Structure 1
Amino acid sequence: MNRAALDALADEQVDWRHKGMPPALWGMTVEQIRARRPRLSELPTPLLTLSRAALDHNIDALASWCATRGFDLAPHGKTTMAPVLWAEQLRAGAWAITLANLPQLAIARAFGVQRVMIANSVISPLSLRWIVDELAAHPDDEIYVWADAVDTVRLMHEAIANHVADVGDRPQLRVLVERGGAGGRTGARDLGTALEIAAAVADSPYLALAGVAGYEGALAHTADEQSREIVAAYLRDLAEVHERLAAAGLYPEGITPVVTAGGSAYFDVVDEVLRPLAGAGARVVLRSGAYVVHDDGFYRDISPLGEHPRTDGPALRSAMHGWVRVSSQPEPGMAIFDAGKRDLPFDEGLPEVQRLRPRTADEHVTDLDGVSVTALNDQHGFLRFDAQAEPPVQIGDELRLGLSHPCTAMDKWTLVPVIGDADEDDPVVVDLLRTWF
């Protein structure tokens, strides 16, 4: 990646544009705030933070897990849209960064990411023109896209042919055949269609057949045996496409075919089914993205390295927390806090109440039981507890929340404080992480 572009982020001036930053820090640069090392108590609520220790642990944990099995990792950058974290993942051994569309690719290219997988079809002529021009200007870089229909290949071919007068020595756009599954998202639903797509890619002078791709996470949503067998059956179908393409000699010389699957929920099943391909000439690539942040909800429950591990390796840790303040107690058994859907994720489960921050300098953080989040409005959250007992919270209390689903947490914040240890009474802010959504 472009070190100068990353370093320049430290010179960004913090001000009113950055939600969660107090007026006392406005006018300072990110580097100045780092050096000042403010405490969490100096930042207002609502707030989202990341834990430096948990991020480091998670990056190392999955890098080691992949290396042990002979897999490559192309973490899905859309989870964080934070180039600084992408750089850390690449330094830990990631082979590429995965993204979802042209705007995300443009951010990656602005920060010098040299190998990107777009886990999607790209059929907009405007997008394709820019991509092939990027490749022409940087012939050693690699950009991969997916195709799940012959019409998709035709549209890619036509868009590039109408833009490029002569193929010449221009690098080809690398295309992966996407295999889908019944009831899933995109992807060819049968072997015959997948082979037709591959043949169409191989016939285009502007495209290079580079492997097979798919996404298993849309086919199951639990970790039980039935769900894992659904995923395994799908992965066997994906492997069959690759094996047929290799046997037919459709892969061009000089390209190691990529076989890619594996979000953050079923990479243990990917290991069981696809590992033999890693030792037989293919590059097996996981695209896990949520692992770097992990959570206290959906991924804690379903991840193979979560609360109920299904594979060897260090357990992942939730790096993200929400910090909110009780603003109202309008009736017994209920309180309202100052964060809602515009601040915290809610699509894969509501936040969970974890801790009560110290009320005075003489107190310490305490676990908070018997209090649950029951609803989120745009800017308000609802707490419920026993109406007959002494209220466990009072107006002005600050709470730490565990959150579910990092993919819909990070997008709500342009500048995320990174704290040293989320379990301390008053954690130190060690960095500010810039995101682009």
Structure 2
Amino acid sequence: MNKTTPPATRQKGTPWSTPAQLLTDVPLPAAAILETPLAHNLAWMQRFADDHGAKLAPHGKTTMAPALFQRQLEAGAWGITLATAVQTVAAHAHGIARVLMVNQLVGRPNMALVADAIEAGLEYYCVVDGADNVRDLGAFFAARNLTLNVLVELGIDGGRCGCRDAEQVDALVAAIAAEPALALVGIEGYEGMIGGDDEIAAVRAYGERLVDTVKTLRASGALQREAPIVTASGSKWFDLIAEAFDKAELREHYTPVLRPGCYVVHDHKLYAGAMEAIKARDPALEGELEPALEVFAHVQSLPEPGLAIIALGKRDIGHEPDLPLPLRLYRRHDDDTSAPVDVRSWRATKIMDQHVFLEIPDSAEVAVGDVIAFGTSHPCLTFDKWRRMLLVDERLAVKEVIETCF
């Protein structure tokens, strides 16, 4: 009896082949990265880091897209920041040669993944904040005859990981010194958990604390690198961390590393607001980041006046801290030269697994089958919902299919 061959698996939101046109050749919903803003953002952030005498190691967990990692490196990035051993191995398998893992490396299976990658040529760094982990790492990597580069993580009260005070740092440095397989090469921090009545002053103080700590460690002889690493910076306060790092002594004797991730596609609200604040703090700053990620979906139903149901849901687009943001409407019978309709005044009110409830004017000219482009707030939570995303030009022609490795 003959067996039938199952049809080829087709990932959502992708055409069978390229070139293709997003609105006519792709089954929607689909996630699209706009080519021109993407190129602009890559160049803008690299120039910002260069202007402040810092290296750029973009946080790859935002996209987990090796094709975007390569673009960031081609634009001048020093390396790629990642969060886990599995992410590290995925990046290395796609040609990434230097990874800064800003997390503790915990658990023998994760250590084995990293050790294999180091043996295969990966330049790897992780962070530590406790003696138990230091001893485990020291024993494991000694048994593998490898040296593991580590950075002390400097935390904040009430924050996530990291040493809370100088005494903890001193004790940790002593524990690292007792492990021949570990090389202490710098200090790491994350300012994104800082709050309070005056966040700006607190972030500035934390940046200065990082700089003072790495200088102290270097003066003590504890750091095993000629130009020790000092690194921090998420996507909200990167200007304040760059300000703390932009000192002649750091430029000459250290390796300051900034590691924002969301800048690569930016967004339409959360980080758009952060960009406005950065521009307000530095009015002379030229240009700004631009949103480059949109998700396209059909109007599926018009069940009652003032309500459109969109064929888009939690499985397709991020919805924290804000619901999807409607941007433009493309009428189903228009060709690709027709101007879309601005629908930024419309409002998403609810999201389910596969549906968005969209509040629209009673007089809105909209029909089932029309397409709406949505923006996002916080791009990380959209990327992880797609295994393939589309790079499109200004006319929404698909130029490339970009794979993710979540």
Q: Do both proteins adopt the same fold according to a TM-score greater than 0.5, normalized to the shorter chain?
A: yes
Cα 1:324–1:289 change in 2 (3 A) is same
Which residue type is aligned with residue 247 of structure 1? A
- The match for 1:260 is 231
1:400: Cα distance to partner? 1.2
Structure 1: any 5+ residue segments left out of the alignment? 1-13, 26-32
> Within the alignment, does 1:302 sit opposite 2:274 as a pair?
yes
Which residue type is aligned with residue 373 of structure 2? R
- The match for 2:182 is 207
Q: Does structure 2 conserve the Cα–Cα contact (< 8 Å) formed by 1:21 and 1:44?
A: yes
SS at match of 2:117: helix
Percent identity between the two aligned chains: 35
> Within the alignment, does 1:250 sit opposite 2:225 as a pair?
no
Cα 1:280–1:199 change in 2 (3 A) is farther
Matches within 5 A, 1:60-79: 60-79=43-62
Q: Which residue among 164, 169, 182 is the counterpart of 1:189?
A: 164
The whole-number CA distance in structure 1 between the counterparts of 2:220 and 2:399 is 54
> Within the alignment, does 1:339 sit opposite 2:320 as a pair?
no
The whole-number CA distance in structure 1 between the counterparts of 2:14 and 2:94 is 25
Q: Give me the CA root mean square deviation.
A: 2.1
> Within the alignment, does 1:148 sit opposite 2:129 as a pair?
yes
Q: Which residue among 289, 297, 303 is the counterpart of 2:261?
A: 289
> Within the alignment, does 1:103 sit opposite 2:86 as a pair?
yes
- The match for 1:434 is 403
Cα 1:155–1:420 change in 2 (3 A) is same
1:310: Cα distance to partner? 3.8
- The match for 1:227 is 199
- The match for 1:28 is none
Which residue type is aligned with residue 148 of structure 1? D
> Within the alignment, does 1:47 sit opposite 2:30 as a pair?
yes
The whole-number CA distance in structure 2 between the counterparts of 1:42 and 1:134 is 40
Cα 1:381–1:394 change in 2 (3 A) is same
- C-alpha offsets along residues 51-102 of structure 1, whole Å, 9 cap, x if unaligned? 1111111101111111111100011111111111111111111111111111
Cα 1:414–1:308 change in 2 (3 A) is farther
The whole-number CA distance in structure 2 between the counterparts of 1:133 and 1:340 is 39
The whole-number CA distance in structure 1 between the counterparts of 2:346 and 2:240 is 36
- The match for 1:38 is 21
The whole-number CA distance in structure 2 between the counterparts of 1:68 and 1:242 is 22
Cα 1:368–1:134 change in 2 (3 A) is closer
Cα 1:436–1:39 change in 2 (3 A) is same
- Mean CA deviation greater in 149-158 or 48-57: 149-158
- The match for 1:6 is none
Q: Does structure 2 conserve the Cα–Cα contact (< 8 Å) formed by 1:15 and 1:21?
A: no
- The match for 2:209 is 237
- C-alpha offsets along residues 1-50 of structure 1, whole Å, 9 cap, x if unaligned? xxxxxxxxxxxxx953311125xx2xxxxxxx33x343432212211100
SS at match of 1:213: strand
The whole-number CA distance in structure 2 between the counterparts of 1:309 and 1:152 is 40
1:306: Cα distance to partner? 6.9
Matches within 5 A, 1:155-194: 155-161=136-142, 163-164=143-144, 167=145, 170=146, 172-194=147-169
Cα 1:308–1:320 change in 2 (3 A) is farther
Q: Which residue among 330, 347, 360 is the counterpart of 1:357?
A: 330
1:256: Cα distance to partner? 1.9
> Within the alignment, does 1:272 sit opposite 2:243 as a pair?
yes
Cα 1:290–1:369 change in 2 (3 A) is closer
The whole-number CA distance in structure 1 between the counterparts of 2:167 and 2:278 is 37
- The match for 1:11 is none
